Copies of this chain bind each other. A is one copy, B any other.
Amino acid sequence: MTTSFHPPVRTLMGPGPSDVSPRVLAAMARPTIGHLDPEFIRMMDEVKEMLKNLFKTKNELTMPISAPGSAGMEACFVNLIEPGDKVIVCQNGVFGGRMKENVVRFGGECILVEDEWGTAVSIEKVKAAFAANADVKALAFVHAETSTGVCSDAKVLCELAQANGALTIVDAVTSLGGVNVDVDGWGIDAIYSGTQKCLSCPPGISPVSFSAKAVEAVQNRTTPVPSWFLDTNLVMGYWGGGGKRAYHHTAPVNSLYALHEALVMLEEEGLDNAYTRHQKHHLALRAGLEAMGIGFLVDEDSRLPQLNSVLIPEGVDDAAVRTALLQNYNLEIGAGLGALAGKVWRIGLMGTASTQRNVMLCLDALENTLAGMDAPIKVGVAAQAAAAVFAK
């Protein structure tokens, strides 16, 4: 007979999911009501309004997709890309590669702009790609690469796309709520995110937003959207508002309670305060790590405060350290992916996990663990270096 599952209480400082606030967990456990209940529909309207504020957009098509971030990505590509469409895809990590996969599967022609993992998308290379290719339908890039901790210049990339008459498709899974995302200000046409990063919800939902230009592009398709579940024309019948709600699928009621509560918490704090908090704790973590002698993969000007890719000290066994942190401190940090496996750790300070307590825990646990393995680090200095940042 299988028994109930009682998870260990971890501190989640990997690339996501991040720690979820007890307020959000409590919201998730409230009694399920019907997905067409008038009270639920009122809550949906609030979720939509709060998402618009978070994305900084007036886009009517702003809503949570009932599935994780990778389905949010697919919602953007499956609706906007038709067979033969040319798409410039910027790849500087895992998720740019996934965008390419999406383009290919929906019959698009992918023009790949590659940058080294750990560096931002090169504006010059994107310029060159536009110069070399006429009739590009869309430029797709990852704002915050979860696999490397790099932030690319979304504003300038969007300007480039607009100057060339192309739509923009932007991955904001790790950026939303942690650093500025300005959909209307930058002119983003399709954007998707996830709940399990800087929104500090359990994973499973993907907020998306489509501009009027993107909606028009979907409506002007000459082929049907090759997905029923993700067809925005249908999904909007349910999320669209204006009184009548058409049944599309059964919304994940309790997961949306959680998202609602997380958005309320973010509203209470204020977006700018949340960005400042992420930045401050990043600087404290960085001061502590650098005092220990641990450096960063990413150049200072494109580092994400919420996801720190740090270089594993010479001779240290990556997996042994992560296992020790998990077993001895219930602390999860992330491994490197692809060519960065064994070379970097990814330390997240996302959403409600971006706290002084977590910075101190991580520095202490890492110092003790590495010192116990005779790793080449300086001991006894990290906590003080971080404390100096907190004191500012």
Residues of A within 8 A of B (CB): 1-10, 12, 14, 16-17, 19-20, 23, 25-35, 37-40, 43, 46, 49-50, 66-71, 73-74, 78, 98, 101-102, 104-106, 194, 196, 202-204, 224-229, 247-255, 257-258, 260-261, 263-264, 267-268, 326, 332, 337
CB pairs A–B below 8 angstroms (29 shown)? A2-B267, A5-B43, A5-B257, A5-B260, A7-B33, A7-B39, A8-B37, A12-B32, A16-B250, A25-B29, A25-B31, A25-B254, A29-B29, A33-B332, A37-B326, A37-B332, A67-B71, A67-B229, A70-B250, A74-B229, A105-B226, A194-B250, A202-B253, A203-B253, A204-B204, A204-B255, A227-B227, A247-B337, A254-B258
With a CB–CB cut-off of 8 A, which chain B residues contact A49?
2
Q: CA A251 – CA B224 in complex, angstroms?
A: 29
Q: How many copies does the complex hold?
A: 2
A5-B260, A34-B17, A332-B34 known; A226-B229 Cβ under 8 A: no
* C-alpha spacing A22/B350, complex, angstroms: 30
A105 interface neighbour in B4, B225, B332, Cβ under 8 Å: B225
Of B46, B67, B228, the residue contacting A5 (CB under 8 A) is B46
How far is A224 from B247 in the complex, measured between Cα atoms in Å? 31
Tell me the minimal C-beta distance from A49 to chain B in angstroms.
7
Are A264's CB and B3's CB within 8 A?
Answer: yes
6 extra A-B contacts, CB within 8 A, seeds A7-B30, A196-B250, A204-B255? A2-B267, A7-B40, A12-B33, A17-B250, A73-B228, A252-B255
Closest to A26 in B: B29
Complex Cα gap A147–B14 (Å): 44
Closest to A337 in B: B247
CA distance A25 to B258 in the complex (A): 12
A1 partner, pick from B33, B34, B106, B268, beta carbons under 8 A:
B268
Q: How far is the CA of A90 from the CA of B254 in the complex (A)?
A: 33
Beyond A104-B224, A106-B226, whether A2 also contacts B264 by CB under 8 A is: yes
Complex Cα–Cα for A30 and B104 (A): 39
Q: For the complex, what is the distance from the CA of A9 to the CA of B74, rounded to whole Å? A: 35
* A68 to B205 alpha-carbon distance, docked (Å): 11
